[in-house]
Amino acid sequence: MAPVNRALRLGRVPLTSARILRRLDREGVLGRGMKIVGTHALYAYEMMGGVQLGEEAMTTMDIDILYDARRSLKIVGDVRADGLIGLLQGLDGSFRATEPGSFRAVNDAGYMVDLITPATRFPADARAPPRIGEPADDLVAVEIAGLAWLENVPVVERIVIDERGLPLWMAVPDPRAFLCHKLWVAGRADRDVMKQRRDRLQAETLARMLATRLPAMRIDDPALAAVPKALREPGAALLASFAGGDAAGWDD
């Protein structure tokens, strides 16, 4: 079916991203200590709504891997010996950490892989910078505020299609939490203006899809209790602004 999928233009996930996701899945860590967040999560949300979101919201040259550092390192199996950097270099030998102890790896094509983790709530909870593997040059997850909201909501699992037309599996946070988080990030004063615009665009695009294609997915769902009410309220308002819209006005 891959040629058919390509002919129908169903292939969406970039090839480098697909290779990384398949490897994480094969090693048994995707969905068990690791989730995909950021722009790449939108590929799974597209499949939920049976639509293709606009290219302006989807274009990216990096993938964000959310690592739950509370989980035992036993979950990573064979990855522990080589680390995330070893896994990436096994797919593309040009991947290198941007600097010692960095959370980011980049290859010769400029494709970036970021390892991120929620910031601790209290100084007393401070922990050693979390890394997945044993190698000294492995990536070290950077703590980022607000990620706990994505870590503590239901996981969505979907089969997506890569640019070759082949399927792969993704694990991402609940799209309603993603929407609320994007609105929060877009409103931060310390956020780059261009990134703020992109965050807002992604939030609005996702809100329209949820409101018109999946109206039963409400933001007042108790499953989203980990997301503060102050964040859920703007998300609910954005959803309401698209309610009753044309569900047929998408590139299905």
Contacts of 94 (CB under 8 A, 6+ apart): 107, 108, 109
For residue 247, report the phi and psi dihedrals to the nearest 5 degrees.
-70, -10
> Angle of helix 193-213 relative to helix 41-49, nearest 10 degrees?
20
Q: What's the token pair of residue 229?
A: 């009410």
Contacts of 6 (CB under 8 A, 6+ apart): 163, 164, 165
Q: What's the token pair of residue 215?
A: 């109206």
Nearest to 158 by CA among 58, 49, 47: 47
Give the integer Cα–Cα distance in Å for 96 and 99: 8
> What is the structure's pLDDT at 39?
95
The pLDDT of residue 73 is above 60: no
Could you read off the pLDDT of 148-206 as tens digits, one per residue?
A: 999 999 999 999 999 999 999 999 999 999 999 999 999 999 999 999 999 999 999 99
Alpha carbon of residue 126 to chain centroid: 25
Average pLDDT (205-213) is: 96
Q: What's the token pair of residue 21?
A: 């996701």
> What is the structure's pLDDT at 78?
64
Contact between 154 and 35 under an 8 Å Cβ cutoff? The reply is no
Could you read off the pLDDT of 22-69 as tens digits, one per residue?
A: 999 998 889 888 999 999 999 999 999 999 998 889 988 899 999 987
DSSP per-residue letters across 85-121: HHHHHHH-TT-EESSTT-SEEE-TT--EEEEEEEPPS
Q: Which of 2-16, 65-79, 158-172, 225-239 has the lowest mean pLDDT?
A: 65-79
The pLDDT of residue 231 is above 70: yes
Could you read off the pLDDT of 76-117 as tens digits, one per residue?
A: 556 778 889 999 999 999 999 999 999 999 999 999 999 999
Beta strand spans in the chain (E): 34-37, 62-67, 96-97, 104-106, 112-118, 142-144, 155-161, 167-173
> What is the structure's pLDDT at 1?
93
Give the integer Cα–Cα distance in Å for 96 and 94: 6
Which of the two residues, 249 and 193, has the higher pLDDT score?
Answer: 193
The pLDDT of residue 251 is above 90: no
The pLDDT of residue 247 is above 80: no
> What is the structure's pLDDT at 59?
84
Question: What is the share, in percent, of the chain residues with pLDDT greater than 90?
Answer: 76
- The residue type of 169 is W
> What is the structure's pLDDT at 128?
56
pLDDT band at 130 (very low <50, low <70, confident <90, very high): confident
> What is the structure's pLDDT at 3?
95
Residue spans per domain, the chain:
2-174
